[in-house]
Amino acid sequence: MAAMRSHRRTPSRKSAWRALSAAALAGTLALLTACGSDSPAASWNDGKNEGGGQQQQQQEDSGPKQGGTVTSPAADAKDVPASTPIAFTLENASNPTVELKSASGESVKGAMQEDGKSWLPEGALDYGTKYTATVNATGADGKPTSNSSSFTTMAKPSKVVRVSSFLGENQVVGVGMPIIVQFGRAVPKDYRDDVQARLSVQSTPEQEGIWHWISPTEVHYRPKTYWQSGTKISYKMQTGGLPMGDGYYGRADVSVEIKIGPSFIMTVDNKTKKMTVTKDGKVIKTIPVSLGKPSTPSSSGTMVVIEKQRKTVFDTMDDPNPANRYRTPIDFAQRLTWSGQFIHAAPWSEGKQGRVNVSHGCVNVSEAMGGWLFGQTRIGDVITVKNTEEKLENGNGWTDWNMSWDQYVKGSAIPYNG
């Protein structure tokens, strides 16, 4: 699987120091909730409160020093966060590799980071456990070198943040679907770069993308252009044991795999009162519509399907304006905004569709076309509405595509280097 450019970064020395300091002072952290449900891919890794001693193995000094030295965690450090990377320096050496083992000799899997100066375990370490990190390298004289340093992880924290993915394992979604990660507690601004650095996305085929903080409790990821049809995506929130501010830590790591379905794009033009539907770039249907009347206009902008309901009831009886109060059974409802704009079947307006706007902001289609669309679409399919009296407000729905790429990258906690 090709690696997607997700603009990860290795935590800085400041971040590593902050993580260790936070652990020493507070001794406690968190992981994820999304849209009221945990990701089915979540694996809660509770640590073991086992003690650990200290051990440090040094290379004998025979001439100029050469080899690698672990710089973080510090030798014999205690209360190290379970999310810790292994940082090291090289002196008169090259081709470094890192080994990490528990006191029982169990090896920990991980990977070298892009900076070539740090190594990250593939999952949160066990709590209250002693580990030994070894940096192997080739010395300037061509001989192998090996230097080790030990540390002990913190006890299992009592203050944790749950992290969750909106999407479930192996779900098939539309080409406009953002990856949505939610946090059970607000992430302080000063910690968002460290959290974002632990969020990774891989796709086949490879497509450029970036994370965008929607709020302190929610971050989204989208590619530069719509996902390609058939793309396979694997993403991971490596937040278990990660310091997340105010003495909180990520509860666990979460991994999810999804797939992108066919490119299904709906374009509605108020000037023509028609919806044009394309599938994988080919026009397959033109549908008459009725949009919002002047007092309740539809929003112009790019949205995606948020949820689908075969049958529901629209109830606005609590609206302060008596003229907008109604309770109506609805077929084939597809939500576009949090404020209540949908695509749905409206048999009562079929004589107006294609000619006059009579809705309360929704995209009205016939009963037959409502059923047809409902059978075609997926969560994350794209709809663009044009030439209405009102602009779509960002945040009113999954409006990731209502922003330009330049606007979107401004929401990243890590500077974009594309």
Count of CB atoms within 10 A of residue 359's CB?
A: 22
Mean pLDDT of 174-183: 98
Rounded to whole angstroms, the Cα distance separating 70 from 73 reads 7
Residues with catalytic function = 344, 362
Decide: helix, strand or coil at residue 385.
strand
Q: Which of 186, 191, 126, 112 is nearest to 155 (CA)?
A: 126
pLDDT digits (tens, 9 = 90+) for 296-314: 999 999 999 999 999 998 8
Q: Which residues contact 207 (CB under 8 A, 6 or more apart)?
A: 4, 223, 224, 225, 227, 228, 231
Rounded to whole angstroms, the Cα distance separating 288 from 274 reads 4
DSSP secondary structure code for residue 13 in this structure = H
Sheet holding 163-165, edge to edge: 163-165, 179-183, 218-223, 209-215
User: Is-above-0.85 flag for pTM?
Assistant: no
Helical segments of 42-155, H only: none
Half-sphere exposure of 188 (CA within 13 A, CB side): 10
* Range of lowest pLDDT (21-35, 141-155, 195-209): 21-35
Q: Does domain 67-153 have CATH number 3.90.110.10?
A: no
**Phi, psi (degrees; rounded to nearest 5) at 20:** -65, -40
pLDDT digits (tens, 9 = 90+) for 210-258: 999 999 999 999 999 999 999 999 999 999 999 999 999 999 999 999 9
Tell me the fold of 13-43+159-260: Immunoglobulin-like (2.60.40)
pLDDT of residue 187: 97
Q: Which of 59, 55, 56 is nearest to 139 (CA)?
A: 59
- Are 67-153 and 264-402 in the same CATH fold? no
pLDDT digits (tens, 9 = 90+) for 40-66: 333 333 333 333 333 344 444 455 789
Given this structure, which CATH class describes domain 264-402? mainly beta
Residue boundaries of the structural domains of the chain? 13-43+159-260, 67-153, 264-402
Strand partners, 254: 42, 237
Describe the chain by its helix, strand, coil percentages, rounded to 5: 10, 40, 50
